[in-house]
Chain A
């Protein structure tokens, strides 16, 4: 209604990349999985590596990721994506192998595979989407659920004496000698998307240079599991997740650039507001 003379092919500034298929994503409205898929796909498109990229789909909401990426994809058993990626990358050293995992897959059932793949320094990229909840199965508590955060299995909020501390798996793998680039990003605002895209590109470039394991965490929301609107969930994430899961690079070129102090968690415990 406002745009007849502007909508022309020569005026195009942004459209969905062709590395994503035209399939309608099954994710809930506002789910950041779609945004993160697109960030990864745009980097693959810009680097021109579509024909030599192999993705590993996890178990979780993103189990159907292979329907949306226009690259070769393998579906791994629950939590075993880093093990499968290790094998594929060793057999195809000139290809780009990445895993795409949620917090239930990577930080719960697949903790051993994650830590050992990172410790071996496999030349793979691990994309870790942390929404602090088990989204697919109905919003149960995950290892990464915040202290005081309500979920289906912690209806009065996560308690440290009963459920333990949130697992800081990204800080954990940064301590391992095999990891080369460990970073934490988000995808809720245009600025965050730009930063995340730069980090994803750096991970792919480091992999091409065979520098070791690349680990990119995305702090994410689960508006259905959190029982919020997508916009409110993004705001809740900024207020409650970011103090605990601080954005930014943790390890660059094999050197830790931000030390993790577990004592910070004790301070954060009192700051987490319970919905």
Chain B
């Protein structure tokens, strides 16, 4: 049994500030090379190491991150 997490980013509302990436303890989050409708490089998961700690969600100024956690 291992705890696995995942985040879902509301791409259109993300402003690409990068604060979530700077606090992630597992370096799971990075800014995408793609842009959203407003031209921001939105945040996205770049690997599967997420532990579902919700640190990113807590510091996200725009509240666009939803965090899930499960035992798999």
Contact, CB under 8 Å: A190 / B58: yes
Contact, CB under 8 Å: A34 / B61: yes
A11 and B66 alpha carbons, distance in the complex (Å): 11
**Residues of A close to B23: CB separation below 8 A:** 189-190
* Listed A/B pairs (8) with beta-carbon separation below 8 Å: A2-B45, A7-B68, A11-B70, A27-B62, A29-B40, A30-B15, A32-B61, A34-B60
Given contacts A3-B6, A12-B68, 6 further A-B contacts (CB under 8 A): A7-B6, A14-B58, A35-B58, A38-B61, A229-B18, A234-B19
Contact, CB under 8 Å: B6 / A230: no
Interface size class of A (residues with CB under 8 A): 35 or more
Interface residues of A in 1-52 (CB under 8 A from B): 1-3, 5-8, 11-17, 20, 24-25, 27-35, 38
Please pick, from A11, A16, A29, A188, the residue contacting B69 in the complex, using a CB distance under 8 A.
A11
Q: List chain B positions with a Cβ less than 8 A from chain A.
A: 4-8, 13, 15-19, 22-23, 40, 45, 47-48, 50, 52-55, 57-70, 72
Q: Which residue of B lies closest to A15 (CB)?
A: B66
Choose among A1, A33, A34 the residue with the greatest number of B CB atoms under 10 Å from its CB. A34
Please pick, from B4, B17, B59, the residue contacting A187 in the complex, using a CB distance under 8 A.
B59
Please pick, from A2, A27, A231, the residue contacting B61 in the complex, using a CB distance under 8 A.
A27
Q: List chain A positions with a Cβ less than 8 A from chain B.
A: 1-3, 5-8, 11-17, 20, 24-25, 27-35, 38, 187-190, 193-194, 229-231, 234
For chains A and B in complex, what number of residue pairs have CB atoms within 8 angstroms?
Answer: 106
Contact, CB under 8 Å: B4 / A14: no
Contact, CB under 8 Å: B59 / A35: yes
Please pick, from A14, A31, A187, the residue contacting B54 in the complex, using a CB distance under 8 A.
A14
Indicate whether A38 sits within 8 Å of B69 (C-beta atoms), given known contacts A7-B8, A13-B52, A30-B15. no
Contact, CB under 8 Å: B4 / A6: yes
**In whole Å, how far is B6's beta carbon from the nearest beta carbon of chain A?**
3
**Residues of B close to A28: CB separation below 8 A:** 15
Contact, CB under 8 Å: B58 / A5: no
**In whole Å, how far is B54's beta carbon from the nearest beta carbon of chain A?**
4
